[in-house]
């Protein structure tokens, strides 16, 4: 084990004797993701499609007045475009094609563009390429989804003017991910205690994915003081000699 920044870091476990625990964690993540997706579909696109049907009915009743019908058609088109953009964004989060094709750094750049389009929020990226190369493909995928969840929370809830993501290599065998914002903050201790009880699926998924790395997660936040999420993990063995 290694100690870094107040966190004890464990090396990746050997495959023997760990498959049952690993499989259980994967199944738990899949179940939590399904619940989270169902809630997001209900709160977002499902409501929008219902509103589209209502707008279409209103438009049909306004056909006798061309101007009123034209106004309703404009509203209908705007809502349809908004719904399509929301579905494209959800699809991007579920299947980030650039991650498999071009790697973690490019996937983060694409995510920054998506967040800008979806929320009008710029993302400051600071990525140490050596840190990326020191990760296995599985670790890169896990860090992508961890960061995407954290950034989504910042954009939706923090009311921040600045959001940043950094990947650094503070020690020879330690990789550190940080997601921070200068938003309204929250009571981190209370959120960690209530977690899934209040349907905070994202937080529960975060913790399960960090355990799969394996890594250590810390969340620091206070009301009005912004927030910072940190994930520290040991670099993959066999990759360190290539990153000096």
Q: What is the pLDDT of residue 82?
A: 87
In this structure, how many other beta carbons lie within 10 angstroms of the beta carbon of residue 213? 24
What gap in Å lies between CA 95 and CA 119, rounded to an integer? Answer: 19
CA angle 126, 232, 148 (to 5 degrees): 55
Same structural domain for residues 144 and 52?
Answer: no
> Would you give per-residue pLDDT tens digits along the chain (244 residues)?
554 555 555 555 555 556 677 788 788 878 878 887 888 888 888 899 899 999 888 888 888 898 988 998 999 999 999 898 888 888 888 888 899 899 999 999 999 999 998 888 999 999 999 999 999 999 999 999 999 999 988 988 888 899 999 999 988 789 999 999 998 887 766 665 654 444 467 788 888 999 999 899 998 887 788 999 999 998 876 555 555 4
Q: What is the pLDDT of residue 172?
A: 77
Cβ neighbours for 159, distance < 8 A, ≥ 6 positions apart: 183, 184
Same structural domain for residues 59 and 138?
Answer: no
Same structural domain for residues 80 and 151?
Answer: no
Domain end point (choices 35, 55, 87): 87
Which of helix, strand or coil describes residue 169? Answer: strand
Same structural domain for residues 186 and 151?
Answer: yes
Cβ neighbours for 17, distance < 8 A, ≥ 6 positions apart: none
Same structural domain for residues 53 and 161?
Answer: no
Domain end point (choices 33, 63, 87): 87
Number of folded domains in the chain? 2
Kindly report whether the peptide bond that precedes residue 244 is cis, defined as omega within 30 degrees of 0. no
Answer yes or no: is 114 within a domain. Answer: yes
Domain end point (choices 56, 87, 118): 87
Same structural domain for residues 74 and 187?
Answer: no
The per-residue pLDDT for range 101-140, each reduced to its tens digit, is: 999 999 999 999 999 988 889 999 999 999 999 999 999 9
Domain that holds residue 62: 45-87
- DSSP letter string, 200-216: -HHHHHHHHHHHHTTEE
């Amino acid at each position: 084990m290694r100690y870094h920044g107040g966190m004890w870091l464990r090396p990746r476990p050997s495959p023997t004797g760990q498959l049952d625990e690993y499989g259980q964690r994967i199944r738990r993540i899949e179940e939590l993701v399904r619940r989270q997706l169902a809630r997001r579909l209900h709160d977002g696109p499902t409501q929008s499609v219902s509103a589209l049907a209502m707008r279409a009915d209103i438009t049909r009743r306004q056909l006798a007045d061309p101007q009123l019908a034209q106004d309703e058609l404009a509203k209908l088109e705007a809502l349809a475009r908004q719904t399509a953009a929301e579905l494209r964004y959800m699809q991007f989060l579920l299947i980030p094609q650039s991650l498999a094709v071009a790697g973690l750094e490019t996937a983060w750049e694409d995510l920054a563009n998506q967040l800008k389009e979806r929320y009008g929020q710029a993302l400051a990226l600071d990525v140490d390429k050596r840190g990326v190369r020191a990760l296995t493909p599985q670790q890169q995928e896990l860090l992508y989804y961890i960061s995407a969840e954290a950034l989504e929370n910042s954009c939706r809830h923090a009311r921040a003017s600045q959001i940043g993501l950094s990947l650094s290599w503070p020690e020879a065998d330690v990789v550190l991910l940080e997601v921070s914002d200068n938003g309204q903050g929250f009571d981190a201790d209370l959120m960690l205690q209530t977690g899934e009880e209040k349907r905070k699926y994202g937080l529960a998924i975060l913790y399960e994915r960090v355990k799969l790395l394996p890594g250590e997660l810390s969340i620091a936040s206070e009301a009005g003081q912004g927030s910072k999420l940190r994930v520290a993990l040991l670099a993959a063995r066999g990759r360190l000699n290539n990153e000096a």
